[in-house]
């Protein structure tokens, strides 16, 4: 049986944490599609063009230890706006989504472009200030020298670029369930997501 859960949303809204918890709960495979773009962006640091980086991407590239850096996040947003890059990565994502045993994919265009026929679509969001605080703490833990004001500016710049791009802009699918984590604990957000998915499986 294939069963696809598509989870979209902006950076630091909680979609990755929710996706991993949902996948573990139901025994589904999980793919953080943002890592595909981060890895592609990171490969451009080595002199490759974005298109060549996407076409030559290997599974081992997703294990790089620099993919969670702020630079990799900005590079991911830039390469994701290139239609040829997105095209090179689409088949991999769609095949993963329809693997037997169920799959959870999180990203920015899963419910709208990659898996418009997903059985469940969630859009996870939070206020800019809440997301900036979360990302700032992550980057501090990683040892990056950056202010929370700069993190907020970077998030808003990335959101604007991702929402305005002509190809696969960041937006909720028309039939996506909205989960706003601004004032929710992660436990509550995960419970809401699990309830929505279980309802679809059992219904």
Do the domain assignments include residue 33? yes
Question: What does each of the 203 residues of the chain score in pLDDT, given as a tens digit?
Answer: 799 999 999 999 999 999 999 999 999 999 999 899 999 999 999 999 999 999 999 888 989 999 988 899 889 989 988 999 999 999 889 989 999 999 999 999 999 999 999 999 999 999 999 999 999 999 999 888 999 999 999 999 999 999 998 888 999 999 999 999 999 999 999 999 999 999 999 98
- Binding site annotation covers 27? no
Q: What is the CATH number of the domain that holds 46?
A: 3.40.50.300
- Binding site annotation covers 16? yes
CA-to-CA separations, 202 to 3, 7, 30, 188, 197, in angstroms, rounded: 12, 19, 21, 21, 9
- Binding site annotation covers 171? no
- Binding site annotation covers 6? no
- Binding site annotation covers 17? yes
Do the domain assignments include residue 76? yes
Domain region containing 64: 4-198
Do the domain assignments include residue 151? yes
Looking up tokens 């040829």 gives 84
- Binding site annotation covers 10? yes
User: How much is the pTM?
Assistant: 0.86
Q: From CA 143, how far away is CA 48, in angstroms rounded?
A: 27
Do the domain assignments include residue 203? no
- Binding site annotation covers 12? yes
**What is the domain count for the chain?**
1
């Amino acid at each position: 049986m294939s069963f696809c859960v598509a989870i979209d949303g902006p950076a630091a809204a909680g979609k990755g944490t929710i996706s991993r918890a949902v996948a573990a709960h139901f025994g589904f495979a999980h793919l953080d599609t943002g890592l595909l773009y981060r890895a592609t962006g990171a490969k451009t640091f080595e002199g490759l063009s974005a298109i060549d980086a996407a076409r030559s991407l290997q599974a081992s590239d997703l294990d790089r230890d620099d993919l969670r850096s702020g630079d990799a996040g900005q590079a991911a947003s830039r390469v994701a706006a290139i239609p040829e890059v997105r095209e090179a990565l689409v088949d991999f994502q769609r095949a993963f989504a329809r693997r037997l045993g169920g799959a959870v994919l999180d990203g920015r265009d899963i419910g709208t472009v990659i898996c418009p026929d997903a059985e469940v679509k969630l859009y996870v969001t939070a206020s800019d200030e809440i997301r900036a605080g979360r990302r700032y703490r992550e980057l501090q833990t990683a040892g990056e020298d950056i202010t929370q004001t700069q993190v907020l500016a970077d998030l808003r710049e990335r959101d604007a670029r991702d929402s305005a791009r002509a190809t696969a802009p960041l937006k909720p699918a028309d039939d996506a369930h909205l989960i706003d984590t601004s004032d929710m604990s992660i436990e509550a957000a995960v419970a809401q997501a699990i309830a929505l998915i279980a309802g679809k499986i059992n219904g």
